[in-house]
A and B are shown apart, each in its own frame.
Chain A
Amino acid sequence: MKFSKKDDDIRVPYTMEECQSCQMQSKRKFIEGDYLFKESSDCKSCQGKLIIVKIFGESIKEK
């Protein structure tokens, strides 16, 4: 009989960028060298500056 079930979760790192001009947010896979509040690239829609506002892991459950 199994009394408890422990799931091992694998967290995939993502980076969230936000444009300083149009506030548009975009999510992409984390790249080594990313850190919070780093100016990353230009916004595709308004050419404003994108900064990294979040770096986080999202779980993929593995049983």
Chain B
Amino acid sequence: MDFTNFDFDEFFGIGDDSNPLLWLIWIIPIVIFVFYGQRIQLQITSSEIKKNISKLKQFKDESRTSLIEHIKKNLSPSGEPTKKLDRFIDYFTIMPVDMDPNGIIPKVRHIVRSREDTTREQVRRLFSEINDFEASKVQTLVEVVASLQLLYRIVNHLYLTAKKQNNYPLILPLQMMMPFIMEEATALKEAVPALKQGQPIGDGIGAMVVGKMMLNTTKQKASFETVWSEKDYNGRKLFLMKAKGPSATVGRPGDAIESLVKENKLDLIVMIDASLKMEGEDSATVSQGFGAAIGGIGTDRFQIEEVATKHNIPVFAIVIKQSVKEAITLMTKEIADKANDVQSQIHEMIDENTKQGQNVLVIGVGNTLGISQ
């Protein structure tokens, strides 16, 4: 190809003998993109978000229907439960004012527990007779449907606001967050079958390890829905603690440790919990670290840290890494297979960091659905 006789006028269509039609082909798109570029981008982005909103709505509706069917089919409620369930699903929580954060933890704990206690009582009142196991499953399912409903409402609100205002920058944060929101929503939707059937979830690996260590010991109540027992190991006294299974509960380890430390001197606390893995990390890898390994809103962690600091007790952690989906759906084989390895690591940690005659508290943190002790 010969480039020596390249004619710019001809190429851009601006020469004297140029066709005005060719000239327009260049100019019109530029004008359109200058004045309507953001609106075009808004249309493209919003169509993708709209698809995800439809999915969220589907997840919310399917999980709600599944909950109602489960109650009607398996639990024989005293009356028609749908209206009441819809009210529970719609509950909101107003967090305390944090302008002055001093003393906010007891306030948060009070509000969150009020909600939990009220929902638990109201779920129980739907039935003339229901055992703790089934009631805890229904309560957890209500929380799952409520979370899906909240996600749907927030995303839909942000989307509609951006559309209403024709405001492209407003939709950008939503577009960026959408994959994370959908990952969470998919995990919640897929948690429903495991919760209905009372199967252990990935988050329960800590409870599973400690539950196994508690076999053939005398269990005592430590606090609400939390149990502990004593066991001798290599000249040390172990206090083993977990939520009371096989119900769907995380117990109240914060309260439990406060009451336990009043009557017993502790020399070491070891906490075992599931932890969210980072991208690139393998599922079911076991890591050791320091500090209170416990999720949730933070009130139990605060209590444990307070007790540990006041009594100068070192807190060690062993975590089993997993994705959001693995943490709230049926436990995978890879995670379940790590239980023996984690138990060996607990023993090793105790041997290396305590002397004979000392006391160690081992806490299995997490939802203990389908895991007894």
B198 at the interface (CB under 8 A from A): yes
Interface pair B331/A55, CB less than 8 Å apart: yes
Smallest CB separation, A34 vs chain B (Å): 8
Partner of B329, one of A11, A14, A58: A11
Q: Chain B contacts of A59 at CB under 8 A? A: 332
The majority secondary structure among interface residues of chain A is strand
Q: With contacts defined as CB atoms under 8 Å apart, how many contacts are there between chain A and chain B in the complex? A: 65
A31-63 toward B: CB 8 Å interface, digit per residue (1/0)?
011111110000000000000011111110000
B243-280 toward A: CB 8 Å interface, digit per residue (1/0)?
00110000000000000000000000000000000000
> How many B residues have CB within 8 A of the partner chain?
24
B320 at the interface (CB under 8 A from A): no
Q: Chain B contacts of A33 at CB under 8 A? A: 198
A12 (CB) vs chain B CBs: closest residue? B330
Partner of A56, one of B198, B245, B336, B371: B336
Q: Chain B contacts of A58 at CB under 8 A? A: 332-333
Determine the distance from Cα of A14 to Cα of B88 in the docked complex, in whole angstroms: 33
Given contacts A36-B246, A54-B337, 15 further A-B contacts (CB under 8 A): A11-B332, A13-B194, A32-B198, A33-B198, A35-B198, A35-B245, A36-B370, A36-B372, A37-B371, A37-B372, A54-B339, A56-B200, A56-B332, A56-B333, A56-B335
B residues with a Cβ closer than 8 A to A are: 194, 197-200, 208, 211-212, 215, 245-246, 329-333, 335-337, 339, 370-373
